[in-house]
Amino acid sequence: MTASPSPALARHDLIARFSEILGPAGVLTDATDIAPFCTDWRSLYHGRALAVLRPASTDELAAIVRLCVAHDVPMVPQGGNTSMVGGATPDDTGREVVICLSRMNRIRGIDPRDLTMEIEAGVTLKAAQDAAWEAGFMLPLSISSEGSAQIGGVLATNAGGNNTLRYGNARELTLGLEAVMPDGSVFNGLRRLRKDNTGYALRQLLVGSEGTLGFITTAILQLHPQPREIDAALCAVEDASAALDLLGLLRSRDPSLLQAFEFMSGTGMELVTDLIPGAGLPLEETAPAYVLLELATPRPDADLREFTESVLGEALEEGIITDAVIAESESQRAGLWKLREEHAEAQRRAGASVKNDVSVPVTHVPELITRATSACEALIPGIRPAPFGHMGDGNIHFNLVQPEGMAPEAFLARSHDIMDTVSAIVKELDGSFSAEHGVGQLKPYMMPSWRGGAELAAMRHIKTALDPRNLMNPGKVLPPATQGA
């Protein structure tokens, strides 16, 4: 049972209390300082905040959560602010505080025998990967925004990315967690156990809860051995069906080697090569679609290059691919990944775009792409479908770029029509309306039709039990009680 809140404090009294806990460096109130925290990177959401709070320790965070609960102040956690679904942007009431853990940025340790890393929420994913690599291991989580995305946000959204098909999502890599719960208590689950069946798996519930059930402060992540050899190749294909055949061929020859299998449409690739400086296609001709694949092995005695050349040779002979290039150096490999990772930025530069981060069973990917392309082209003439993504695990970013010459606002006004068109097809193909970006504030309205009945009811019970006054990232994930079961 939660006590009723104390009377609301005036803004300046609240800020004084926050400053007592965090010191002046931990509280931002100036409009210019706060502005970047109130808008998402796509500039789709614009909120206001009472203050931005920057705790430097779990104890400080717990103290401010208790203060917020006592005075009914809603809290929005924000990491690198790379959410695609407005998951970290405050609303426009000006009542919410943004909580940013970038001062909690220590890598506490790497255990080489346990293959684990203890790391605080404010470390960027790239810094975490680099630290693991320097210690002789690999943190296999890899996403396009890894230079800015922070561990807290990566775990809160259960990020997936490029290597999910081999190593799983953030959830599979999380062994232990510490988090501040909605009442300001600290859940100390920093365990490094591979087996631990002791009741409900609270850490797994917090991972992917998008800051609605608690704020993650520290994690113990599982590391993997470094690969001794990695081959990256860019292949030209006719369509997603050929890409699926290539996936089948690779798996039939050796299922253990594949670590990434990324699909890119010809339209998406053209935007990248046109709009991103230094991004050039290393093939003689453009193609209707492309696959960027990566094979890797930790075994010192495997002749990976021989395997890669022979399997791609076979794919060429069988007409599954029409061309291919294998990276000959680390810088060529980075060049191939640039073509893939700059897709989001190129689409942003091309004007307004509508994103559909969806997943289907991998065998349905070709049908998804064909059907959703025709349906969207029928909906808005001139629309530019530019699907790409993690085809090897069934996650396609079925993104649509505005027709040339159309006003961005007019195109964005059709967002829900487009999303509903794509998601109707995804549903028929047994997929999900949010594969890896989460629900945020963009998609709660879809929850009743996708996760209604017992599932949404259970989610609402959990939320109410842990956060009865709905102060933790309100308006995200769950639709209002008036909507749906």
> Which residue number is nearest to ligand 2HG in terms of Cβ?
344
Please provide the DSSP assignment of 98-166 as one string. EEE-TT---EEEEETTTTEEEEETTSBHHHHHHHHHHTTEE---B-TTTTT-BHHHHHHTT--BTTHHH
Q: Does 389 bind ligand 2HG (CB under 6 A)?
A: yes
Q: Alpha helix locations (H) across 387-428?
A: 408-412, 415-428
Least distance (Å) from ligand 2HG to the CB of residue 264?
10
Distance CA 215, CA 206 (A): 8
Least separation in angstroms between residue 440's CB and ligand 2HG is 13
**How would you classify the pairing of strands 215-222 and 323-326?**
unpaired
State how far the Cα of 373 lies from the Cα of 365, in Å rounded to an integer.
12
Q: Does 19 bind ligand 2HG (CB under 6 A)?
A: no
Least distance between ligand 2HG and beta carbon 353 (Å) = 8
Binding map of ligand 2HG across residues 85-114, x = CB under 6 A, - = no contact: ------------------------------
Q: Which of 116, 142, 164, 399 binds ligand 2HG (CB under 6 A)?
A: 399
476 near ligand 2HG (CB under 6 A): no
Write down the least CB distance from residue 88 to ligand 2HG, Å. 15
In angstroms, rounded to a whole number, what is the distance separating the alpha carbons of residues 220 and 223? 10
* Comparison of 261 and 307: residue with beta carbon closer to ligand 2HG: 261
Residue 446: Cβ within 10 Å count: 18
Instruction: Specify the residue, 54 or 343, whose C-beta has the smaller distance to ligand 2HG.
Output: 343
C-alpha 284: how far from chain center: 33
Quick one: which of 54, 333, 355, 443 contacts ligand 2HG (CB under 6 A)?
355
Question: Is residue 153 involved in binding ligand 2HG (CB under 6 A)?
Answer: no
CB distance 209 to 198 below 8 Å:
no
Pair of tokens at residue 36? 């970047």
Q: How far is the CB of 390 from ligand 2HG (least distance, A)?
A: 7
84/99 with CB nearer ligand 2HG: 84
Q: How far is the CB of 90 from ligand 2HG (least distance, A)?
A: 22
Please state whether beta strands 75-78 and 97-100 pair in parallel, antiparallel, or not at all (unpaired).
Answer: parallel
Closest CA to 470 of 65, 74, 67, 5: 74
49-88 residues near ligand 2HG, rule: CB under 6 A: 84
- From the list 144, 273, 322, 432, which residue makes contact with ligand 2HG (rule: CB under 6 A)? 144
Rounded distance between C-alpha atoms, residue 402 and residue 384, angstroms: 6
344 contacts ligand 2HG (rule: CB under 6 A): yes
Residues binding ligand 2HG (CB under 6 A): 84, 144, 343-344, 355, 357, 389, 397, 399
